[in-house]
Structure 1
Amino acid sequence: MKPYKLYIAIFSTLALSVFLSSCNKFLEENPLDTKISDQFWKTPADAQSAVNGLYFGGVPYLHNIDVDGGWTPKATMWGGIMSGLFVDKRKDRTFTNASENSTFNIESFNSTAAKLWSEYYIGISRANFVIANIPTMSGVLDQATIDNYVAQGKFFRALAYFSLVKDFGDVPLIDAPFTSTDGIYKPRTPAADIYRFIEQDLISIADGNALPDKAFYDNGCYVTKPMAQSLLAQVYLQWAGAPLNGGNEYYAKAADWALKVINGGKHALIHPNGTTADLNSAYNIIKTTKNSNEIIYAKEYNMTSYNVGNSYPARSIGADAFQWKDADNNNVFKPAGDVMYNAYLPCDMLLNSYAPQDIRIKEKQFFFRNYTDATGISHTLSNVGNWAWFDEAALKSGRDGDYNMPMIRYAEILLIAAEGLARTGKEAEARGYLNQVRRRAGLPDETASGPNLITAILTERLHEFPLEFKIWDDIRRTRLYPEADGHQSGKLKWTPLASAAIQNKPDGFTKVGAIPEYALLWPIPLGEMQANPAIQEQNPGWK
């Protein structure tokens, strides 16, 4: 892949007339016209369409990428499956089989690595074009609009580089658009310098006035100041841990930026004093809402109106549900482009680690086993289903769904604040933020201190975000792996990765040391190394 080629594709897929009032404007991707680059950046519609393109490529698009086409795990799931804490029950692709058998070699992982690498640089290329060209439109756009558009470009460039550096370590730093083939061969930049580049982008927009100080949905689903602050808090939390090991300085920074979001007052927990265990619970509102200020950032979908659908519903439930019949002997669910199968089944160890009173483990909160159809017939799944992704209307009509997918929630910001404070000696404050999340879930306040408090925070992150793809990053930055600490105890032990019993290596078995440390980074795609003579070295360990 040559990065400069990406830009030709960008302008042929952007809508050039998208001035709608709601966040659904992002979902109108059908181009009304196409322009080559030297004809672009002439009108407000050009600028708006380029900005809208940021919300589709790059990191957001990982929610649409499969391993080898349909019926396989999405790119968002790959880390969780590699961890063994989540299982692809279909098992008909190289990635899943290699992961379960700990066959961590380039041949098995090159294809998936290439998809990640390519998509991240698509996001970076789009952002670079916005950042470089929008300021040239001073005769077309007012300064406030220019500043806002550039800030959105910086957010998405930072988001893409953050994902890229976590997945690959040292990577080429491309900070401006290519307009020719000159200089396209970039060597790998040290990861520490990539983090500093991300920091520079985010600090420039997280405290200024270019981005609105609003909640995500209140801002029409465009980038907000709390989004930038939240991403910076995530960056510092990861930076504090392995492999850079920034330590307390960066844990403190993570907490400081999380506290800016908290004290900013634009976001809050749904049902902060405790929620119900029914379909009106906070967790069901998180699933279905398109207006809650608990959501700081979400991947948008709208199949009904714009034919941009969420295909997670087909991965929420096992293939046995295809056989369910109602009282009239009709199929309960209809096949669509995605066959129903559970590509991300939480392992039994994780499910059994929740305390019985934890609302999140109760039926039809995050997970489910039972479903009653419209004719009153009850059905039971062979394996647990992922209720957080289940979309009844979509599955009954045989199409993708409409629910948005949370990418950053306020609960995560509370837990980042808790961890950053706990690791820098401010334990009373840390417990306060941790216990906000626990209290909402129906759990008693945590009173632990020292290492036990850190363990409690890490456990809470896994229990609160089992289906939001946080665990692989947590394993990578801590080099710790969750193990059982009593049946339904509400606790987990976090054991050094090298000595931990890794789940489902293969399915149904544990294996100590099944994930070598080098596998926490993806291999540099072979096609990229062959195309770019400036990249000479593969990530250590990959053969």
Structure 2
Amino acid sequence: MLSLTIVMSSCEGFLEESPLDEKTTGQFWKTESDAITGVNALYFGGVPYLHNIDVDGGWTPKATMWGGVMSGLFIDKRKDRTFTNASEGGNFNIESFDATSQKMWSEFYIGISRANFVIENIPTMTDVLSAEQIANFVAQGKFFRAYAYFYLVKEYGDVPYIDKPYTSLEGIYVERTPAAQVYANIESDLLDIIGGNSLPNISFYANKGYVTRPMAQTLLANVYLQWAGAPVNGGNEYYSKAAAMAMNVINGGQHALEQPNGSSTDLSSAYNVIKTSKSSNEIIYAKEYNQTSFNVGNSYAVRSIGTDAFQWKNADGANVFKPGGDVLYNAYLPSDLLLNSYHSDDIRNMEKQFFFREYTDDTGVSHTLNNVGNWAWFDAGSLINGRNGDYNMPIFRYAEVLLIAAEGLARTGNESEARGYLNQVRTRAGLPNETASGDALIQAILTERFHEFPLEFKIWDDIRRTRLYPEADGVGSGRLKWTPLANALIQNKPEGQAVVGKIPEYALLWPIPLSEMQANPALAGNQNPGWN
């Protein structure tokens, strides 16, 4: 004990020194550099980080894919994870879904925490920041707080709403706030930053990838669309708001549909420009990547094809692709129902648009995939060099804004205008104008969303808010029958089999993670119904 006392006494001065390689809370939020660092962190955690989270390792679906796998409309071919097997078996129990739920829940609150620190501290930095900088930085914080809560409320329903940064344990146990109130808080944040001049009213790439007014408007249009449907069932008021907010983006003129430069069916098509471009005005928000310059790479490429492609040999007998550390079997294979439902004239289902079946290597040898590949993610440079890629991942596109406007208008009786917006998307895809009305028009819009965004992770949200599920309505017809979930023929439960009612309605909300319920007494006994 005496020796220890001497040692500790000799270390006392050292222990009082501030760490030289990091700033404590009291040292941060002092300089312009601190403010920029705090704001930039918003783009790497929270909801954007879903593009990096997987289940239990690299060879699994990313968090962005989990809803599609649960729906059965996309297939994880490896099937070596509890989550995938439980989804295919329709075994929606807490033991199988708790680990995935915990990862999402934690990441959303990381994003909220970062946003709250920005919103709370930036306004105090008047000695180092201009009024314009303060307004813009706070607006970015409010965007990402709203973005995180939007995901929380649609994935979990009622959730604890926290709008201040924690600097102690005081007040740490928070009860679940009703979903309708969470939506109202999201709306308040977004309306606040959409009004005024805190956000630039320019396109995403013109603003160097930072939050813009059209980006906030598009998020709010999505919020209203989800709010209108289940489980909150806001109804026509929010369908009208969704349409109006989407039309604000349309009328703003900062964004437009990408149009083909020459042929619409080759590698110069609009869809290939969207895939490769870092300047297209169709992109309203994208998850940005740059492996070459910043070592922040896109790993979707290795999820674009099956492992058979890594056995291909070129004319010289060498491997065409070099397996990297994240190589796996196709983790998000599109279902036959989706592929077969495209109209035969639909450009999006033609070779090397959204999907592909063949590849010719640099030496001229042609190869055929065992399974359909995801061309929208395929990056030859990434796979040839055995590293992650540089392509950005679209999150919001102008095509989605048009379809939100179309659905909101159609559901509130403005069918002619709705068809106008819908047909802009259809025309680019090589399809004739839609002339349907009533429920057939709504179904056509839902089908168009599925066909336009098959690899941008919209389908689970659409099933959740509509309580409808797509069923086949003729091979190559371009149509789907959207059927009440309880009576629908659910695909791939297990793979290759379709079973009626295999997704219970309660599974459309995730279970509250068990560790959160154990740590927070305010959550005890308040699990989402159905999760036993």
TM-score with structure 2 setting the length: 0.95
The equivalent of 1:538 in structure 2 is 527
Task: Please give the alpha-carbon distance, in whole angstroms, between the structure 2 residues aligned to 1:484 and 1:535.
Answer: 41
1:156-185: CA deviation from partner (whole Å, max 9, x where unpaired)? 000000000011111100000001010101
Match of 2:39 among 42, 47, 51: 51
| Contact 1:275 1:442 survives alignment (8 Å) | no
The equivalent of 1:18 in structure 2 is none
Partner SS for 1:369: strand
The equivalent of 2:214 in structure 1 is 226
Change in Cα spacing, 1:326 to 1:274, as seen in structure 2 (3 Å) is closer
Task: Please give the alpha-carbon distance, in whole angstroms, between the structure 2 residues aligned to 1:319 and 1:501.
Answer: 30
Match of 1:128 among 116, 122, 134: 116
- Is the counterpart of residue 324 in structure 1 residue 301 in structure 2? no
- Is the counterpart of residue 159 in structure 1 residue 178 in structure 2? no
The equivalent of 2:501 in structure 1 is 513
| Residue identity matched to 1:525 | P
Match of 1:106 among 60, 70, 94: 94
The equivalent of 2:480 in structure 1 is 492
The equivalent of 1:117 in structure 2 is 105
| Contact 2:300 2:378 survives alignment (8 Å) | yes
The equivalent of 2:15 in structure 1 is none
Change in Cα spacing, 1:134 to 1:229, as seen in structure 2 (3 Å) is same
Task: Please give the alpha-carbon distance, in whole angstroms, between the structure 1 residues aligned to 2:235 and 2:173.
Answer: 34
The equivalent of 1:338 in structure 2 is 326
The equivalent of 2:407 in structure 1 is 419
Change in Cα spacing, 1:273 to 1:256, as seen in structure 2 (3 Å) is farther
| Residue identity matched to 2:488 | A
1:178-217 paired onto structure 2 within 5 Å: 178-217=166-205
Partner SS for 1:37: coil
Change in Cα spacing, 1:113 to 1:384, as seen in structure 2 (3 Å) is same
Match of 1:378 among 366, 390, 404: 366
| Contact 1:273 1:439 survives alignment (8 Å) | no
The equivalent of 1:305 in structure 2 is 293
Change in Cα spacing, 1:425 to 1:218, as seen in structure 2 (3 Å) is same
1:224-373 paired onto structure 2 within 5 Å: 224-271=212-259, 276-373=264-361
- Is the counterpart of residue 34 in structure 1 residue 22 in structure 2? yes
Q: Which runs of 4+ in 1 moved over 2 A?
A: 272-275
Cα deviation for residue 340 of structure 1 reads 3.6
| Residue identity matched to 2:319 | N
Task: Please give the alpha-carbon distance, in whole angstroms, between the structure 2 residues aligned to 1:343 and 1:447.
Answer: 37
Task: Please give the alpha-carbon distance, in whole angstroms, between the structure 2 residues aligned to 1:337 and 1:309.
Answer: 13
Cα deviation for residue 116 of structure 1 reads 0.4
| Residue identity matched to 2:270 | A
1:482-520: CA deviation from partner (whole Å, max 9, x where unpaired)? 000011000000000000000000000001000000000
| Contact 2:260 2:269 survives alignment (8 Å) | no
Cα deviation for residue 275 of structure 1 reads 6.2
| Contact 2:263 2:269 survives alignment (8 Å) | yes
| Contact 2:262 2:269 survives alignment (8 Å) | no
Task: Please give the alpha-carbon distance, in whole angstroms, between the structure 1 residues aligned to 2:508 and 2:236.
Answer: 23
The equivalent of 1:405 in structure 2 is 393
Change in Cα spacing, 1:309 to 1:257, as seen in structure 2 (3 Å) is same
Task: Please give the alpha-carbon distance, in whole angstroms, between the structure 2 residues aligned to 1:124 and 1:471.
Answer: 25
Cα deviation for residue 207 of structure 1 reads 2.4
1:345-384: CA deviation from partner (whole Å, max 9, x where unpaired)? 0100110000111000000000000000011110000000
1:242-288: CA deviation from partner (whole Å, max 9, x where unpaired)? 00111110000000000000000000001189961000000000000
Task: Please give the alpha-carbon distance, in whole angstroms, between the structure 1 residues aligned to 2:87 and 2:200.
Answer: 43
| Residue identity matched to 2:105 | W
Partner SS for 1:338: coil
| Residue identity matched to 2:504 | P
| Contact 2:158 2:177 survives alignment (8 Å) | yes
Task: Please give the alpha-carbon distance, in whole angstroms, between the structure 2 residues aligned to 1:159 and 1:274.
Answer: 37
| Residue identity matched to 2:527 | Q
Cα deviation for residue 480 of structure 1 reads 0.1
Task: Please give the alpha-carbon distance, in whole angstroms, between the structure 1 residues aligned to 2:188 and 2:196.
Answer: 13
Identity across aligned pairs (percent)? Answer: 75
1:100-157: CA deviation from partner (whole Å, max 9, x where unpaired)? 0001000000000000000000000000000000000011101010000000000000
Task: Please give the alpha-carbon distance, in whole angstroms, between the structure 2 residues aligned to 1:328 and 1:273.
Answer: 35
| Contact 1:65 1:75 survives alignment (8 Å) | yes
Cα deviation for residue 34 of structure 1 reads 2.2
1:328-349: CA deviation from partner (whole Å, max 9, x where unpaired)? 1100001111114210001001
| Residue identity matched to 2:386 | G
Task: Please give the alpha-carbon distance, in whole angstroms, between the structure 1 residues aligned to 2:346 and 2:196.
Answer: 40
The equivalent of 2:17 in structure 1 is none
1:74-85 paired onto structure 2 within 5 Å: 74-85=62-73
1:37-82: CA deviation from partner (whole Å, max 9, x where unpaired)? 1100110000000000000000000000001111100000000000
Aligned length: 512
The gaps in structure 2 that reach 5 residues or longer are 1-19
The equivalent of 1:95 in structure 2 is 83
Task: Please give the alpha-carbon distance, in whole angstroms, between the structure 1 residues aligned to 2:328 and 2:296.
Answer: 19
Task: Please give the alpha-carbon distance, in whole angstroms, between the structure 1 residues aligned to 2:285 and 2:33.
Answer: 24
The gaps in structure 1 that reach 5 residues or longer are 1-31
Task: Please give the alpha-carbon distance, in whole angstroms, between the structure 2 residues aligned to 1:45 and 1:73.
Answer: 36
| Residue identity matched to 2:267 | L
| Residue identity matched to 1:201 | D
| Residue identity matched to 1:64 | N
Task: Please give the alpha-carbon distance, in whole angstroms, between the structure 1 residues aligned to 2:223 and 2:325.
Answer: 36
1:465-484 paired onto structure 2 within 5 Å: 465-484=453-472
| Contact 1:274 1:441 survives alignment (8 Å) | no
Larger radius of gyration, structure 1 or 2? Answer: 2
| Contact 2:260 2:268 survives alignment (8 Å) | no
| Residue identity matched to 1:398 | G
Task: Please give the alpha-carbon distance, in whole angstroms, between the structure 2 residues aligned to 1:36 and 1:287.
Answer: 41
| Contact 1:322 1:340 survives alignment (8 Å) | no
Cα deviation for residue 192 of structure 1 reads 0.7
Task: Please give the alpha-carbon distance, in whole angstroms, between the structure 2 residues aligned to 1:505 and 1:210.
Answer: 48
RMSD of equivalent CA atoms: 1.0
Task: Please give the alpha-carbon distance, in whole angstroms, between the structure 2 residues aligned to 1:34 and 1:372.
Answer: 50
Task: Please give the alpha-carbon distance, in whole angstroms, between the structure 2 residues aligned to 1:487 and 1:534.
Answer: 51
